[in-house]
Amino acid sequence: MKYEPYRATSMINRLRHVDDWFWASYTVNPYRGCAHGCVYCDARANQYGLSEDFEETVFVKENAVEVLGKQLPRLKRGVVSTGGVCDSYQPIEQERRLTRKVVKALAGHQFPVEVLTKSDLVLRDLDLYAEASRQSWACVFFTITTFDEQIAGRFEPGASPPDRRLEAMRQVAGAGVVTGVAMMPLLPGISDDDRNIEDVISRVRDAGGQFVLAGGLTLKEGAQRQRYIGVLESHYPQVLPLYEQLYGSGFETRGSYGPQLLRRVREVCLQHGIADRMSRPVLPDDPLGLNKRIAERLFLRTYDLLLEEAESYRQWAYRKAAWAVDEMEEDVGDLYRQQGRKGLESIKGIGKGLSREIEGWLQSAEGTANDRLEVDHGQR
């Protein structure tokens, strides 16, 4: 493993739309490259501008805090996610402490911050996340797909063992910081069985986790697919026909496999009283907080339709409506007070059916975060 200094010209990546799984508006990666060497990582497919050997050389963005100091004052506050591509708490962080400096800078500008990691090193910085949680919002969550040591060792060779991640999550929960697990990717024929899913969810619940987000494996052409299939050929040759059936030459599973998997996860989560989605953080002083809550409802409905295997056009209708509401500059409650349902229908992508649905949420305490709107019925 080699570590090279790197001078970044930009640190914050602004997402085109809010991430409706993790609720991030921005991403930050203190390091370029990752020593965890996870076999299934799709960053090898160059989707994120990384090279195929990104686990052999890690670039350290030594000027990260300096660049952030220039960028953050110009940005609207939103959730910043660290470590989504290259784990922010990979081994070099023990020495360089760059992620700690980045989180401190984000918290200093009162940006909500979240980190997804496979390392218990994050506990070193629990004081920062606890303080960020008090000032705005923070979430520290962990990728755990199995507690089978052999499977974890083969597919996540450089990461902390899953038991240590779970114990770290327990301590994060004890500090009052939002936490949970990304149970992704579940590997077909290897870790997607009911017993494994039940085991992970029950342990996360018992350790104080608030959610379990599940997802399947993507197999992208090139280095990622080649390396992953190579591990299957060496250790799990019996599942190769299943992969040919599920993927063929595509990068996502075909047919009902994906929705069925997510439905099974939802059922087990319900049985254990834990959410299968992460609640969206909305800051108390956010003037457009209601928009975010309504958009969250629309995003959740999109996910429900995915699980129901509804027609893709129906899923996209809700997703586009969610984006439209989320990105409005005017408070959707004010718009409804002034123009009634016609005002809602003026929002791009929202027709009569969706406007009635949103109207119902606006009129309910649940849909308005316990802030009932006064409705002028004469304007309907």
pLDDT at position 56, please? 78
Q: What pTM value is reported for the model?
A: 0.92
User: What mean pLDDT, rounded, does the chain reach?
Assistant: 92
Handedness of CA 60, 63, 68, 74 (dihedral sign): negative
Higher pLDDT, 257 or 380: 257
For the chain, domains (ranges, CATH) are 2-272 (3.80.30.30), 289-379 (1.10.150)
Tokens standing for residue 21: 């799984």
pLDDT at position 98, please? 97
pLDDT digits (tens, 9 = 90+) for 227-236: 999 999 999 9
pLDDT band at 178 (very low <50, low <70, confident <90, very high): very high
pLDDT at position 222, please? 87
pLDDT at position 55, please? 67
Residue 340 near residue 324 (C-beta atoms within 8 A): no
Helix 312-326 × helix 289-307 angle, to 10° = 170
Cβ atoms within 10 Å of 353's Cβ, excluding its own = 9
DSSP 45-107: GTTTS--TTTTTEEEEETTHHHHHHHHGGGS----EEESSSS-TTSTHHHHH-HHHHHHHHHH
Quick one: which of 213, 221, 204, 202 has its CA closest to 168?
204
Distance of alpha carbon 101 from its chain centroid, rounded? 22
**In the predicted model, what is the mean pLDDT of residues 146-173?**
97
pLDDT at position 262, please? 98
